[in-house]
Structure 1
Amino acid sequence: MEVKQSIINHFQEARIKKDQTVKVFEINFTWEYTNLFDIISKPIFLKYLNMKYKKEFIKKTVINFNETIDYLRNFNKEVEQTIWDYLIQTNNDKIIYNIYEEFLAFIYSSTKAFINDILIEQIIFWNEGIEIKTLNNKNYDVDLYFKYELEKYKKSFQNFIFKKLKILQKEEPNNSVIGIVIQAYEENLKENEMKLIVLKQEALIK
């Protein structure tokens, strides 16, 4: 665990940019990325947004936002423990270090993208009571489409882990545990791909 924490600490010190900026609805928002597994400070994040949005956040918005951040935190921690458990199936320290650092970079880029491209917009939707969003000339239910985006976020991690498991399998071709896990992932990825298709269709307003 000390080795893992040292990799995390080094990554956070060397690679994480604290100050983030994004333009949503023609408003330049700024926010602070705290660390990989807390992601943000919830009250400070809303305070930063409020400085530019200039409207008070209603109770529903705050509750939905808090639940979303808690959901992302819990998921990220679970998937982090999962990939670490897979990595220590090999005795190759270099492979462990390289893949784990790649995973940390993936968490960082994925959480940033989700907040910048999806969550801030969704916060405004919640607060303004907007129920429909238009993408590529199609109308979608805002809340159902957000559910789809959350599932897509989760699936991106599954895809990442699956690719890294294949690398581990090459390093440990006789490791039956890794082979079994890969088989399970292949089935699960197919199921989740179908789930995403269904969720997007359910969000579509016909």
Structure 2
Amino acid sequence: MQDLGPLRGHLVEQQRLAAEREAARREARRRAEAERNLFANAAGPVVPLRQPPRVRLAPELPAPIPVQQQLDDQRVLQESLSDEFDATTLLDVDDAMSFRRPGVGMDVTRRLRKGEWSLQRELDLHGMRREDAREALSAFIRDAHRQGLRCLRVVHGKGLGSPGRVPVLKSKVQAWLIQKQEVLAFVQARADEGGAGALVVLLKPLA
């Protein structure tokens, strides 16, 4: 019987430890539950909304397509004038160089040379570099045609101030004008309008 005493004490101690562990587990569950319900206990009874609040965000609009810029860029490419264009075969060789588009009668250049169309605007390219003159001429013809003008004068100079006294712009201006679809014909200006240093240009009428 004396040997049973220590065994009985050991069992009692095991039971006590098991009870303490179970109590600790219960306390831990109670605290966890209290933490989970902390907001509900603080706020009191609540009624959930039938529909959760939603913020409807407008979809992000796609970036606008710069259509007008694309059209402008395309037009610039179409209107670009080449310096390599050979106009000599398209010029009428008479007492003064002239040009008329296919289908345009010689009477048009004859009347243009006589001054039957009144000059409506003039562009003076004196002193301009070739690149600047090309851009200025292109814009001049385009704007004049948009305004419905028909008869223009383009002054390119006689080349008296150029190296070798060669009129550098003269042949370039002739080639550029032929490349402009708005141009119907051109002739060398009369002596009192600039002579060999200028051209009188006839534009197509607006459609």
**Fold conserved between structures, TM > 0.5:** no
Relative to the length of structure 2, the TM-score reads: 0.22
Relative to the length of structure 1, the TM-score reads: 0.22
- Bigger helix fraction: 1
